[in-house]
Amino acid sequence: MLDNNKFKGLRRQLSISLKEKGITNLNILKAIELVPRHFYMETGLETFAYEDKAFPIAANQTISQPYTVAFQTELLGLNKGQKVLEVGTGSGYQTSILLNLGYKVYTIERQLELYRRTSSLFKRTGDRPKKIIFGDGYNGYADAAPYDAILVTAGAHEVPRILMSQLKKMK
């Protein structure tokens, strides 16, 4: 895994582009600049990593468009040190952004191939989620509940009540 000035410059350009598209949280924009998205993509696609597009990854899934990652993260409205459950680890890029912001991240992936790849990648990148769980995120992860926020990056027809029950009660 190689990062260089070219990729750093492309991340800076991506951050500027996301700001122009309406992302206002400067910490998120900084995280976009710091996290090497090409680490989370298939090797043959790394030259496209800093385009604001989704791309295929293993298990017929996709790495989300950077704007989507930034927008979802901004909607969480969290502060450093708060706890988030991410349902749908995928490539691990969103996880890395959340970790870079100082959130305590628990992440669940149901595709075994992605779970294995991402677990291995986290070891190489130094990303340290509180827990990486292999399983169906529909049931959340009650062992660490309650969460300040739950980010569902996987498709769902409805919000499972069990996930709602794992959120901290609003005051």
Q: Just list the catalytic residues.
A: 64
Q: How far is CA 133 from CA 75, 85, 101, 105, 118, in A?
A: 24, 11, 21, 11, 11
Calpha distance 150→3 (Å, rounded): 31
Q: Three-state SS for 55? A: strand
CA atoms of 105 and 83, how far apart (whole Å): 6
* Chain centre to alpha carbon of residue 69: 7
> Which position has the token pair 């070219």?
6
- Give the C-alpha distances (Å, rounded to integers) separating 123 from 19, 61, 115, 116: 31, 21, 13, 11
Tokens standing for 91? Answer: 């490539």
Q: Dihedral sign for Cα 89, 129, 105, 37, please.
A: negative
| 147: helix, strand or coil | strand
